[in-house]
């Protein structure tokens, strides 16, 4: 038995113990079950590798090799399944196909078409000699592992801070583990290179165990519910203060337009009066929507998104109206740039609230005589589209050690203070609608907040639909 085989002993014990602990922590939670299966597969694979190294006969070594691949075949789809469950996404066609391919490969793994035989190579007396189907298995293995890691990486910025910490540990641990395990492949194809990375598989179990205990990776659903209830009680204080923040702006606009009507009742006739009253009513409707959102939160119900499609330019006009008084008070100039005229969005009232808060936050961080810029583009990736809106200021910037804290309630860094709720509310609203927000900042230069807001359909189709309805 050589060094590489001995390195599998701690892998066996650590993976088996982690599998048992995670499963019994909450056997009803899917991610616990899937990760337990993943750890068990790693432990059994390592046991088979030890048997291969200790085998005195070719037949025993061949039997152990084929069993090791039976377990290894299911590691990629189980890991992908875990990632999908962790991200709370629906099981898609890719996962179903990956399991089907795994079952098909497992059916042939005891046949010479998969593992032809075993042979001496490098420091091993017996090692895998790949059959024709083993090449397919190699592609299948790496394709699924890479796809799962890309899925984790691309969804990283959409997660809350705790889950981002968990993803960091998962990414490091699994990249180390799969990279170490992948060094077993070259000798299967006759390349005399020892599997030097195999001991790294043990580090994967250590890192994931750290995530489980330190960052509550597999926290039971009941514990999560208790934490959420505690958060709701704490949020009562947040909501009391945020009424000041969220209702003040539309009330200010409604008050302004109604005062204008009182000051000049006959200025522009009935049409002007109707326009001003309609504007005031829109702001009152915003107040009602805000209050309904708070009621939904306290009753543990999700607020429903408004499915009506509205031109983004209309949304932008409303946002400018809502925030104009802050720009006037702060002596800050607003500059807007929309790259396309055919962008349509749904749930416009929520988007208005998000952008208004970002603009007010930018004004609070800006000195008199500076500019705040708002730009919007439509980004597409396959069938999916997202409205990308950036709000930049020329303020003092945000220190690196403060970036993670700015989305927490009552965290204030603006020139004029404030309640410290604007960015907290923005993040909650954006993520509740399936979007995400990013921030970049440089000291003494300013900050750029970028919101990615999902667009249900391609904007060109929406534009054609709107024109057809108008006709």
Structurally, at CATH architecture level, domain 225-298 sits in: Orthogonal Bundle (1.10)
pLDDT of the residue at 221: 43
195, 72 contact by CB (below 8 A): no
Distance CA 115, CA 355 (A): 59
Question: What are the tens digits of pLDDT across the range 14-53?
Answer: 888 888 888 887 788 888 888 889 889 989 998 998 898 8
Q: What is the pLDDT of residue 37?
A: 92
Q: Output the pLDDT for position 373.
A: 94
Segment 237-279, tens digit of pLDDT: 555 555 555 565 666 666 666 666 666 655 555 666 666 666 6
Name which residue leads in pLDDT, 313 or 260.
Answer: 313
Give me the mean pLDDT over the 202-214 stretch: 71
User: From start to end of 248-359, where are the E strands?
Assistant: 309-311, 333-338, 344-346
Element (H, E) at 415: none
Distance CA 161, CA 58 (A): 52
The pLDDT of residue 57? 92
User: What are the extents of the domains in the chain?
Assistant: 3-219, 225-298, 309-470
Q: CA-CA distance, 233 to 229, in Å (whole number)?
A: 6
- Number of Cβ within 10 Å of residue 377's Cβ equals 14
CB distance 122 to 193 below 8 Å = yes
Is the domain defined by 309-470 classed in CATH 3.30.565.10? yes
119 Cα distance to chain centroid: 46
DSSP 97-143: HHHHHHHHHHHHTTSTTTEEEEEEETTEEEEEEE-HHHHHHHHHHHH
Distance CA 142, CA 150 (A): 12
Mean pLDDT of 214-238: 51
Give the pair of three-digit tokens for residue 259. Answer: 């005062």
Instruction: Give the model's pLDDT for residue 170.
Output: 80
CATH fold group of domain 3-219: Rhopdopsin 7-helix transmembrane proteins (1.20.1070)
**Residues 391 and 376: beta-carbon distance below 8 Å:** no
Q: Which residue has the tokens 């998962």?
A: 170
Q: Which two tokens stand for residue 121?
A: 């190579």
Percent of the chain with pLDDT over 90: 24
**pLDDT tens by residue, 99-120:** 999 999 999 999 999 999 999 9
Quote the CA–CA distance of 378 and 387 in Å, as a whole number: 5
pLDDT tens track for 66-102 = 999 999 999 999 999 998 888 878 777 889 999 999 9
Give this prediction's pTM. 0.54
Pair 332, 429: CB distance under 8 Å: no
SS3 365: coil
């Amino acid at each position: 038995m050589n060094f590489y085989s001995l390195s599998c002993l701690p892998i066996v014990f650590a993976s088996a113990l982690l599998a048992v602990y995670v499963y019994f922590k909450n056997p009803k939670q899917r991610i616990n079950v899937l990760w337990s299966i993943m750890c068990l597969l790693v432990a059994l694979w390592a046991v088979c590798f030890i048997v291969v190294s200790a085998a005195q006969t070719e037949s025993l070594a061949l039997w152990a090799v084929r069993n090791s691949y039976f377990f290894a075949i299911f590691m990629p789809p189980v890991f992908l399944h875990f990632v999908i469950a962790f991200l709370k996404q629906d099981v898609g066609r890719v996962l179903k196909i990956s399991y089907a391919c795994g079952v098909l490969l497992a059916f042939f793994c005891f046949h010479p078409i998969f593992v032809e035989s075993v042979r001496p190579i490098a420091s091993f007396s017996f090692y895998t000699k790949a059959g024709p189907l083993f090449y397919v298995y190699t592609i299948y293995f790496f394709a699924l592992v890479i796809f799962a890691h890309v899925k984790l990486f691309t969804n990283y910025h959409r997660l809350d801070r705790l889950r981002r910490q968990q993803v960091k540990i998962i990414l490091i641990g699994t990249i180390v583990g799969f990279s170490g395990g992948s060094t077993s492949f070259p000798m299967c194809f006759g390349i005399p290179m020892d599997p030097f990375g195999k001991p790294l598989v043990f580090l994967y179990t250590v890192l994931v165990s750290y995530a489980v205990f330190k960052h509550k990776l597999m926290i039971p659903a009941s514990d999560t519910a208790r934490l959420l209830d505690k958060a709701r009680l704490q949020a009562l204080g947040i909501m009391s203060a945020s009424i000041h923040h969220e209702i003040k702006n539309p009330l200010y606009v409604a008050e302004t337009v109604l005062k204008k009507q009182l000051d000049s009742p006959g200025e522009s006739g009935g049409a002007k009066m109707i326009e001003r009253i309609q504007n005031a009513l829109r702001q009152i409707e915003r107040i009602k929507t805000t209050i309904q959102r708070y009621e939904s939160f306290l009753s543990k119900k999700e607020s429903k998104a408004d499915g009506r499609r509205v031109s983004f330019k209309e949304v932008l006009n409303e946002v400018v109206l809502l925030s104009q008084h802050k720009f006037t008070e702060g002596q800050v100039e607003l500059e807007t740039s929309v790259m396309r005229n055919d962008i349509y969005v749904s749930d416009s009232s929520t988007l208005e609230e998000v952008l208004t808060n970002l603009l007010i936050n930018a004004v609070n961080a800006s000195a008199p005589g500076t500019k705040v810029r708002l730009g919007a583009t439509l980004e597409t990736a396959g069938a999916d589209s997202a409205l990308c809106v950036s709000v930049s200021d020329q303020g003092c910037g945000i220190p690196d050690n403060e970036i993670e804290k700015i989305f927490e309630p009552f965290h204030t860094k603006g020139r004029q203070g404030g309640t410290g709720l604007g960015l907290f509310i923005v993040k909650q609203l954006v993520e509740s609608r399936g979007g995400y927000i990013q921030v970049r900042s440089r000291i003494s230069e300013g900050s750029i907040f970028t919101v990615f807001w999902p667009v249900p359909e391609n904007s060109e189709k929406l534009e054609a639909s709107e024109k057809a309805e108008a006709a």
